[in-house]
Amino acid sequence: MATIVVMPQLGNSVESCIIVEWLVSEGDTVAVDQTLCSIETDKSTMEVPSTDAGTVLKLLWAEGDEVPVKDPLIILGEAGEDISALVPSDSAAEEASAPQDSPEAEVPEAPAPSFATTAASGAVSPRARALAGSKGIDTSSIAEGSGPHGRVIERDVQAVIAQGPAYTSAATQLGGTAASGTGLGGRVTTADLLKPAPQAPAPLAVTSADFPGASTTEKLKGVRKVVAQRMMASLQESAQLTLNTSANAQGLLALRKKLKNAEESLGLGKITLNDLVCYAVVKTLPKYPAFNATLEGLDFTLFEQVHLAFAADTPRGLLVPVIRSAQSLSLKQFSAEAKRLASEAIEGTIAPDYLSGGTFTVTNIGSFGIESFTPVINRPQTAILGVAAITPRPVVTAEGEIGVEQRLGLSLTIDHQVIDGADGARFLKDLVRAIENIDVTVLA
């Protein structure tokens, strides 16, 4: 009997996967746990194993297709087995479009098979909620989602967006149409309906035959698509304020030099300046619970443990691995775990669960010579620290002379909904103290 292998859900936040490469073809015989294809989620690259054995009767998607999780992926069975009841039939559509000899002759349309559950739960996925919030869409207006148990997922919200702008209740009663709205979330208001149609400007004389020149357009997908949505949602859902300061980096540089020259058997030579800064953050956060927290709607959650996320620049785009329970690790353990996660993120083999659950994020672009910047909060977290370059700064010594000091730039972005500016300043002051006395901090 033919069986269907579905696209597995590789993490709580994963809603769809892109098929990178099929490793089997129709007619091949596969065994249980044999790899069927490689896929790319919005976080990593994975392989899909077969959950059954048999002959490949039908590949339901092509390479490059984006497949929702839990949707049918491949059909297995006995060679020559009839699977017409399991896949949509093209013949019905062809017959319906063909000319009819007699008006009485009607060909009933064969219903396409449905694999979705029918019991709606009213649940909304985090990504769908974020997209709906950024576009001003009320998810309760979606009667039933296409996810498991009727869950509203991202593609359901995208379908609503494709239908055009939403209308306010007053605009709906007034009647009429508008291409776009100026209301909250792009809603069409009565003012939009009453606004006179703009006059088309007179065409300008074309001065170049090849204007505007060659270009290419492609849809955002994978990691870049997720980053785009999350950055917009972060700025729209939080009141972000950035504070800038710097710390004397002399202690950091001195300790890094000692660790690099330490006996090889101690395994301390690979500890980096970024490891030391992040470790100082971990030691500072317990004093400021509001910074080690998440805010979702009006739910403000404070965490006892520090799950430190860090931005990783990978060939596939920005990923943010999470060092779990970082406060319980020694400096050596912390550094080793950071390198493991960064390596797996770059290679595309990191488990999706290690790309979520962070309570505070550190992003470091100091290696590019950036002296200060405005990091965007990794929602639903409430704060993020940007680490900039170490640069020489003029200082006045205790003797009143002009000297030069190596300073590390720090940029802290906070969510002003739950963190006041004064608290942000206090956090930075304590963090600077921890960094400038890093040799004591790592022993605490």
Sequence-ordered alpha helix ranges (H) in 391-442: 421-436, 438-441
**Torsion of Cα atoms, 325 then 421 then 426 then 302, to 10°:** -30
**If 0-12 CB within 10 Å is exposed, 13-18 middle and 19+ buried, where does residue 91 land?**
exposed
As beta bridge partners, residue 357 has none
Residue 247 has which token pair?
A: 């710390």
Compute the chain's Rg from CA coordinates: 28
Residue 307 annotated as catalytic: no
SS3 169: helix
Task: Give the pairing of strands 317-319 and 293-296.
Answer: unpaired
CB 60 within 8 A of CB 14: no
Which of the following is catalytic: 65, 82, 138, 420? Answer: 420
Which of the following is catalytic: 71, 313, 416, 423? Answer: 416
Report the amino acid identity of residue 432: V
Residue 416 annotated as catalytic: yes
Query: For residues 48 and 408, what is the distance between their CA atoms, to the nearest angstrom?
Result: 45
Reported as type and span, the H/E element at residue 35 is strand 35-40
Place of tokens 């497949």: 67
Query: For residues 156 and 128, what is the distance between their CA atoms, to the nearest angstrom?
Result: 8
**What does residue 412 show for φ and ψ, rounded to 5 degrees?**
-110, 120
Active site residues: 416, 420
